[in-house]
């Protein structure tokens, strides 16, 4: 009876300890501002007071946890504020990024799932396209984005007031997210379709199910758990890619914010962005796991 | 014209012969049981009848026409139930009924499904998923699904082998009762002699041979139905049949073993050298590796089927 209580205490206490240790390590290596006031001869016989602010520490420019908190506070306490195009609350930035991710992700699923089914069903299709998939799969989002810009150059869909609603960079961003995120869906769907037990296919044969019915009644339900694993991994990658994409095209969003703050020398906000990106990624993964476990069949 | 027929059929997989010279004729209304050891090709035989496999040589025919593929007129019950785990009991049977009777109205099909669920006494579990059912209940669903297609012939591939003895006995009785009512043609594959004699009109042993199994002489079971499980093992006809069946199967196995070749195998007999002995004089004086045969005479006998 004692053990579960002890375990659950550890389960709460140890994560806190871990976080504290990391913050401690961060505080140790980060720099701090030191203000030195000296009085010296200015070379003309007058004594002047000079105030110098210098950062010292192992990594002098890395903001300390306390500095990060102070600098980030306005973004956290007013998470939905909009002070300007590139100065918005952190959750507002996150929302902008999430919108783009969801669009790209859905595109990835729409393209990836049918390709996965074709790979799983047809040996010839696999022979024809598997090599090219294996080659394209490891290509970084940083490499796809310029290609997307080239592919969709000149694209411009204007809204009613004549401003660009959907331009080259939007298309390139969606393209990059979709093409990077679709591979886990493609491969897991293919594995899932190949793993459909022969017994179920025999049922389809005996009942003389049509191709379409075999797909909807047997293949899709049977491979759904595999597909969902693919969907979860794809969402993770889509979220990973968004930062790189936003950095490159300079769209407002969590990644764009990070890059802009780096250029503006406000390093504390980089840390704020990283923590936010990590947390959101974690939450997305948990949500997908929940959905995944609901679709698991016997 | 016989309902199902195999004429001098054989089946081999990548040159390895599983079945050969199979001649089987099943008439409408027959209850045939095919009995054999596990691994002799019973599933292959039933797959030939079902159309899931094509005979390498010879022919499989239904009502005089060659069997080209599986179809709902030949209902199959597999040993591992093969129910779709994402569908409830009702939906599993509904899928089959919808497919086989598209001309019926939705209400009629629902009625039809309910009838067959009731026939296997699972009305209380009709909305459950297969994983919520015991093995025996799952197999009853599988039987109901096959019967609901109203097949001309029901093929059962060791349907009760995965169940415990008590459940098996209950299901044997239930299926026997259902058969008395429906009189569908049944081909029942099993590895249990008691089961075969208890249920079937005709028992055919599948005998393992060196180059593929063949069917032995059929034995008809002239025991009146309904057969009473508790009394049947006292029945002299049952005892004699059982004895004949078991001895046929045993002698077939013995012959197979006797006809298999015994070969001597030369196993490499170099002994490992003991490197912990640091005796340079002894080592430099040796003439070659030490062989096991120098220590003692040894022979390995292996049996190749």
Annotated domain spans of chain B: 4-259, 261-304
Chain B residues 139-168 within an 8 A CB cutoff of chain A: 149
Cβ separation A221–B86 shorter than 8 A: yes
**B76 — contact with chain A (CB < 8 Å)?**
yes
Helix, strand counts (H, E) of chain A: 11, 6
Share in percent of chain B as helix, strand, coil (round to 5): 40, 25, 40
Q: Does residue A27 sit within a domain? A: no
State residue B234 phi and psi, 5-degree precision: -95, -15
Helix segments in chain B, DSSP class H: 42-50, 89-100, 106-119, 135-148, 165-182, 193-199, 229-232, 236-259, 280-285, 292-295
CATH number of A212's domain: 1.10.3720.10
Q: How far apart are CA B281 and CA B297, in angstroms?
A: 29
What is the SS3 assignment for A69? helix
Q: CB count, 10 Å around CB of B111? A: 12
Q: Which helix (H) or strand (E) holds B219?
A: strand B219-220
**B69 — contact with chain A (CB < 8 Å)?**
yes
What's the gap between Cα B188 and its chain centre?
Answer: 8
Q: Does residue A94 sit within a domain? A: no
Q: Does residue A270 sit within a domain? A: no
Q: Does residue A204 sit within a domain? A: yes
Q: CB count, 10 Å around CB of A296? A: 10
| Cis peptide bond N-terminal to B226, omega within 30 | yes
CA closest to A218 among chain B residues: B84
Q: Does residue A158 sit within a domain? A: yes
Compare CB distances from A297 to B70, B71, B85 and report the shortest one's residue.
B85
Specify whether the CB–CB gap between A137 and A180 falls below 8 A.
no
CA closest to A225 among chain B residues: B86
- CATH assignment of B4-259, among 1.10.357.10, 3.90.1170.50, 3.40.50.300, 3.10.20.30: 3.40.50.300
Q: Which helix (H) or strand (E) holds B76?
A: strand B74-77
pLDDT score, position A7: 65
Full domain range(s) for residue A193: 99-249+279-294
Q: Does residue A108 sit within a domain? A: yes
Q: Which helix (H) or strand (E) holds A214?
A: none
Beta strands B4-13; A164-167: pairing state: unpaired
Q: How many residues does this entry show for chain A?
A: 298
CA distances from A183 to A118, A177, A180, A282, B267 (A): 14, 11, 7, 20, 51
Q: Does residue A46 sit within a domain? A: no
CA contacts within 13 A on the Cβ side of B64: 1
Q: Does residue A138 sit within a domain? A: yes
Q: What is the pLDDT along chain B (305 residues), one digit of tens a residue?
A: 888 999 988 998 888 888 989 999 999 988 999 998 888 888 899 999 999 899 999 989 998 899 988 988 898 898 888 899 999 999 999 999 999 999 999 999 999 999 999 988 899 999 999 989 998 899 889 989 998 999 999 999 988 888 888 888 888 888 888 888 888 899 999 988 889 999 999 999 999 888 888 888 888 988 888 888 888 878 888 889 999 999 998 888 888 877 766 666 666 777 776 666 555 555 555 666 666 666 655 556 666 66
CA closest to A222 among chain B residues: B86
Compare CB distances from B99 to A209, A222, A224 and report the shortest one's residue.
A209
**B70 — contact with chain A (CB < 8 Å)?**
yes
Q: Which residues contact A164 (CB under 8 A, 6 or more apart)?
A: A156, A157, A158
pLDDT score, position A1: 44
Specify whether the CB–CB gap between B48 and B6 falls below 8 A.
yes
Tokens of A43: 């070379």
Please tell me the total count of domains within chain A.
1
Q: What is the ipTM of this complex?
A: 0.73
Write out residues in chain A with pLDDT < 50, as ranges. 1-2, 298
CA closest to A202 among chain B residues: B52
pLDDT score, position B293: 64
* Burial class (CB within 10 angstroms; exposed 0-12, middle 13-18, buried 19+) of B137: buried
Q: With beta carbons under 8 A apart, name residues in chain A contacting B139.
A: none
């Amino acid at each position: 009876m004692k053990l579960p209580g002890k375990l659950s205490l550890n389960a709460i206490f140890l994560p806190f300890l871990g976080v504290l240790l990391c913050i401690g390590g961060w505080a140790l290596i980060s720099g701090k501002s030191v203000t030195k006031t000296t009085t010296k001869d200015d070379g003309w016989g007058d004594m002047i007071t000079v105030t110098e602010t210098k950062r010292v520490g192992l990594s002098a420019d890395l903001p300390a946890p306390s500095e990060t908190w102070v600098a980030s506070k306005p973004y956290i306490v007013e998470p939905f504020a909009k002070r300007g195009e590139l100065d918005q609350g952190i959750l507002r930035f996150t929302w902008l990024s999430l919108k783009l991710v969801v669009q790209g992700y859905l595109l990835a699923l729409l393209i990836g799932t049918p390709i996965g089914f074709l790979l799983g069903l047809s040996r010839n299709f696999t022979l024809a396209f598997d090599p090219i998939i294996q080659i394209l799969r490891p290509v970084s989002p940083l490499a796809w984005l310029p290609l997307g810009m080239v592919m969709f150059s000149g694209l411009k869909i204007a809204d009613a007031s004549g401003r660009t609603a959907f331009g080259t960079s939007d298309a390139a961003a969606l393209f990059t997210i979709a093409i990077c995120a679709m591979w886990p869906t493609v491969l897991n769907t293919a594995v899932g379709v190949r793993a459909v037990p022969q017994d179920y296919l025999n049922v389809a044969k005996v009942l003389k199910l049509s191709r379409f019915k075999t797909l909807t009644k047997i293949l899709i339900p049977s491979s759904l758990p595999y597909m969902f694993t693919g969907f979860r991994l794809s969402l993770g990658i889509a979220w990973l890619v968004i930062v790189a994409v936003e950095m490159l095209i300079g769209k407002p969003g969590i990644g764009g914010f990070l890059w802009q703050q780096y250029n503006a020398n406000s390093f504390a906000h980089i840390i704020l962005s990283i923590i936010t990106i990590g947390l959101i990624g974690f939450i997305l993964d948990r949500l997908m796991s929940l959905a995944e476990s609901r679709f698991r069949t016997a | 014209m016989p309902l199902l027929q195999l004429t001098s059929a054989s089946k081999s997989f990548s040159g390895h012969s599983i079945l050969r010279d199979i001649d089987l004729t099943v008439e409408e209304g027959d209850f045939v049981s095919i009995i054999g050891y596990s691994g002799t090709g019973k599933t292959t035989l039933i797959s030939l009848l079902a159309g899931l496999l094509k005979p390498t040589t010879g022919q499989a025919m239904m009502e005089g026409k060659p069997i080209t593929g599986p179809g709902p007129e030949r209902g199959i019950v597999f040993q591992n139930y093969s129910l779709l785990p994402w569908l409830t009991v009702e939906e599993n049977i509904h899928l089959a009924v919808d497919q086989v009777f598209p001309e019926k109205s939705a209400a009629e099909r629902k009625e039809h499904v309910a009838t067959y669920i009731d026939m296997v006494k699972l009305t209380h579990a009709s909305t459950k998923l297969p994983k919520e059912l015991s093995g025996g209940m799952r197999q009853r669903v599988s039987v109901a699904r096959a019967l609901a297609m109203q097949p001309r012939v029901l093929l059962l591939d060791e349907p009760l082998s995965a169940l415990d003895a008590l459940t098996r006995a209950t299901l044997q009785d239930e299926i026997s009762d259902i058969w008395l009512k429906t009189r569908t043609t049944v081909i029942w594959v099993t590895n249990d002699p008691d089961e075969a004699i208890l249920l079937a009109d005709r028992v055919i042993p599948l005998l393992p041979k060196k180059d593929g199994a063949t069917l032995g002489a059929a034995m008809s079971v002239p025991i009146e139905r309904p057969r009473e499980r508790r009394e049947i093992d006292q029945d002299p006809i049952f005892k004699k049949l059982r004895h004949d069946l078991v001895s046929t199967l045993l002698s077939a196995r013995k012959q197979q073993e006797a006809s298999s070749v015994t070969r001597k195998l030369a196993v490499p007999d170099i002994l490992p050298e003991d490197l912990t002995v640091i005796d340079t004089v002894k080592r430099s004086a040796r003439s070659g590796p030490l062989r096991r045969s120098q220590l003692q005479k040894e022979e390995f006998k292996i049996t190749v089927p």
